[in-house]
Chains A and B, each alone.
Chain A
């Protein structure tokens, strides 16, 4: 059973702070890792993908991957109230599971002014 676990949250940070979201996964053969943002009443929106160990930066977002520790994280710098949403970690295992995503339970982030 492939599992993806996220820090339980909810997470509340002040505007301008760094929000740190964490995720661990059980399948050591996992190939691809994604962060989705889901606003209330909306569908998930892909915000970051990462495939190799290290950091990947895109604007205020940085994804970090450590395959040895089976750990992936998302940092949001200079957090804004508009970042308030549920963040979903998703993992894809490749091979016969190409494209199939296993999701964590999500972390609710609230950024307060």
Chain B
């Protein structure tokens, strides 16, 4: 049972345009959400996070939106750059879970120059 789903395995975007990566979750106990970026042969690196008490968090070119009623979050990258090409994982955690993360299956983003 996949509790965190990323239904798009891949996404291609032109440089300078907006990239939108989506994530859905089923566990209503999740109250903290994170996005990680992963380059080949490297471990995931933290990108941005959001608590369930917020609906938006912004950090430079990256913005995460949370829609709790729809159990949906999205990552917006504006403007997209070729260096953003990587696999993006959505992760979620529930209070009392010792901050364990449940990951989605990832979306390969390719930013075309």
A binds B: no
Binding site for A on B (CB under 8 A): none
Chain A positions near chain B (C-beta within 8 angstroms):
none
